[in-house]
């Protein structure tokens, strides 16, 4: 999963600006098992809940991270968060 997301980010020219894993387990602690990164060989199993949170950070310009929480089901997955993905521009009033 991390590799697939990373490939999309690299393909669009932002690979150098994606410094972390794609996600992690979601539970009581801040970052729980499993760590969803390119070196984790673990298989996702029904009942596991985790984050998918790609982030791109361009120094001195901008950064964005979109997080979804996902439940693995017996036949795929269910996205637990329903926040819209349309671009929202936030500017500071100066």
68: nearest Cα among 54, 56, 88:
54
**Bigger pLDDT: 85 or 48?**
48
- pLDDT value at residue 86: 84
pTM of the model: 0.75
16 vs 24: CA distance, rounded Å: 21
57 vs 50: CA distance, rounded Å: 22
65 vs 60: CA distance, rounded Å: 16
Flag the least confident range among 42-46, 59-63, 74-78, 90-94.
90-94
- pLDDT value at residue 36: 85
Average pLDDT value for the chain: 87
The separation between CA 25 and the C-alpha centre of its own chain, rounded to angstroms, equals 11
At residue 94 the predicted structure's pLDDT band, cuts being 50, 70 and 90, is low
pLDDT tens string 62-74: 888 889 999 999 9
């Amino acid at each position: 999963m991390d590799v697939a997301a990373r490939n999309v980010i690299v393909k669009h020219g932002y690979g150098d600006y994606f410094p972390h894993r794609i996600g992690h387990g979601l539970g009581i602690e801040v970052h729980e098992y499993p760590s969803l990164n390119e070196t984790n060989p673990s298989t996702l199993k029904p009942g596991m809940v985790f984050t998918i949170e790609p982030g791109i950070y361009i120094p001195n310009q901008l950064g964005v991270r979109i997080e979804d929480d996902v439940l693995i089901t017996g036949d795929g997955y269910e996205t637990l968060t329903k926040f819209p993905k349309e671009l929202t521009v936030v500017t500071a009033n100066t």
